[in-house]
Chains A and B, each alone.
Chain A
Amino acid sequence: MPARDSGAQLNRRTLGQRLRAYLHHHRLTLLRGFTQLGQHPLATFMTVAVIGIALALPAGALVLVNNARGLSAGWQGTARLSLFLKTSVSDAAVQQLAEQVRAHAGVASVQVISAQQSLADFQQRSGFNDTLSLLGNNPLPAVLVIQPTPEASTPAAARALAQSFAALPQVDQVRMDVQWLKRLQAILALLHRGVLSVAVLLAIAVVLIVGNTIRLEIENRRAEIEVSKLLGATDRFIRRPFLYHGAWYGVTGGVLAWILVLIGLALMGGPVGRLASLYSSHFSLSGLGVDGVLDLLVSGIVLGWLGSWLAVARHLRAIEPT
């Protein structure tokens, strides 16, 4: 038979016991939240699919941009200098200059393209064969193509190298092949920023989707909420299952997004490999990585939690027993 000493009973319970009961309830709610996902499979699937796609789009785009950035950072190391020599410099002097440049600090290798060779290449590629033969002498200069050592490949060091060669009397003009790389990198930075902006918008969409789903859930469980309030449930107690439910939507959506990105990368892997082999490169797409996957799952959880928090804050208070 129940005795009427509830106050004394509560006080007699130790803090540890109450904490254990509290944690037990959390665990129970967490697990129940997961099983609830399976109760309406189709509705759950649709919500999770929307969240998954909304997360996969920016995640996949970021992976691609990051791949492109990694690739272009690799090219930075192969920045080359082209020394266009004056046409008055003789073949022998060209060879001599090549030796001199090769000995210069910061130079890894030098390739000599003689004036005749330049002309031959040009004739072959341009089709101006006849026109060129009309010219009495070769208008094209000899070129030294310089590959700097890795230490001398930073933009500043490469520029210093270019300046010292420009001072040589035989040199007409020095060209650094890095300008286009800088432009590419600026474009990639812009793309990166654009993807982040879209990601923010899609994150807001995820919050709203979860919020709406949880709002329906609250409507469906109106009776339970009313009864719980009558039996002395605090707002936190009533809120808890909805927050966990939202977080489950988020994390499941995150897993789906991960899978979608994996599928996308697998589909692109073949063409990218063929393209890389055409450039005789060993480049292959890198995936999300452990950090990326964690980011994806954590943002899923946070957004799901946030969405249900919004719904709960708006709608739970309105439900009072009558």
Chain B
Amino acid sequence: MIQFSEVSKRYHGGNEALANVSFSVEHGEMVFLTGPSGAGKSTLLKLLALIERPSRGQIIVNGQNLAGIRRRRIPHYRRQVGVVFQDHKLLHDRPVFDNVALPLTISGVPYNEIPRRVGAALELVGLLHKERALPVQLSTGEQQRVGIARAVISRPPILIADEPTGNLDPELSYEVMHLFQRLNQVGITVLVASHDHNLIRRLGERFISLRAGHLVPPELSGDTHAGA
């Protein structure tokens, strides 16, 4: 589903964020991306969302070589990848319903389908009753769940999340991660970047470690299937 082959990313000024990274994530898999801050986790996810382009190497997502996607086609590519952000990136001037409905409006879903699908997505994250609330009226954990509802409402085959629990306490973090597991169980390929090792071990999924832009070989990062 996701395949990185010898991918490097060097920013202007010579700082190398990723060096020769190769790995693959199978269809329907759930994988964590770990490593200290500055290891290149965010850069890797930006490459997946086509916010950045790699300096070298090849990325294939859902059968498409990202190097072959021109600027004009980027929007259509991004609709296949749901993204959850650490800072949620909700629009604060409109209620939860409109925030969650945004991807549907963007991709031109018939408007009479929208309320039903927004309802389903909000029910999934347990916030159906907050439909009319403004984002500022919600707790951080609730805002993050709205962000997740927005990321999955257009039923993308791939979901990526950048430190989705960065601002949450351990209990809420576990709940959010568990929600990703449930989404993975219905067939979405999930890639979550997180530096919270304890949490990842508790969840028992496969993980990939990055350190200073390099992939840490599995034998050095300990058991790749922490819980298994």
Contact = CB atoms under 8 A, between A and B. Distances in A.
Interface of A: 1-7, 9-10, 13, 17-18, 20-22, 24-25, 223-224, 226-235, 237, 320-322
Given A4-B187, A231-B103, A224 B91 contact: yes
B110 interface: yes
A234 B75 contact: yes
Given A3-B186, A7-B80, A230-B51, 15 more contacts: A2-B183, A4-B156, A6-B79, A6-B80, A6-B157, A24-B111, A25-B105, A25-B108, A224-B91, A228-B102, A231-B83, A232-B79, A232-B103, A232-B106, A233-B75
A134 to B, nearest CB: 95
Contacts, number: 91
Contact of A2 (B77, B93, B152): B152
Tell me the dominant secondary structure on chain A's binding face.
helix
Contacts of B150: 231
Interface string B71-85: 000011111100100
Contacts of B188: 2, 4
Interface of B: 49, 51, 75-80, 83, 89, 91, 93, 102-103, 105-111, 120-121, 124, 150, 152-157, 183, 186-188
Given A230-B78, A232-B75, A5 B51 contact: no
Contact of B78 (A4, A13, A231): A231
B51 A322 contact: yes
Nearest to A19: B108
**Residue among B103, B120, B121, B124 with the most chain A CB within 10 A?**
B103
- Most interface-central of B91, B106, B153, B187 (chain A CB within 10 A): B106
12 contacts: A2-B120, A2-B121, A2-B124, A4-B187, A6-B154, A6-B156, A6-B157, A21-B111, A229-B75, A230-B49, A231-B106, A232-B79
A2 B108 contact: no
A3 B187 contact: yes
Closest 9 CB pairs of A and B: A232-B79, A232-B78, A2-B155, A233-B106, A234-B75, A6-B155, A232-B75, A21-B108, A4-B157
Contact of B124 (A1, A21, A231, A320): A1
Given A1-B186, A2-B120, A6-B154, A13 B110 contact: yes
Nearest to B90: A227
A266 B111 CA distance: 48
B51 A232 contact: no
Nearest to B91: A224
Contacts of A20: 110-111
A151 to B, nearest CB: 66
B75 A17 contact: no
Given A6-B80, A21-B109, A234-B75, A227 B102 contact: yes
A4 B108 contact: no
B105 A9 contact: no
A77 to B, nearest CB: 62
A4 B188 CA distance: 6
B110 to A, nearest CB: 5
Contacts of A237: 75, 106
Contact of A9 (B77, B89, B155, B183): B155
Contacts of A322: 51
A22 B108 contact: yes
A39 to B, nearest CB: 10
Interface-centre pick from A24, A228, A230, A321 (highest chain B CB count, 10 A):
A230
B91 A227 contact: yes
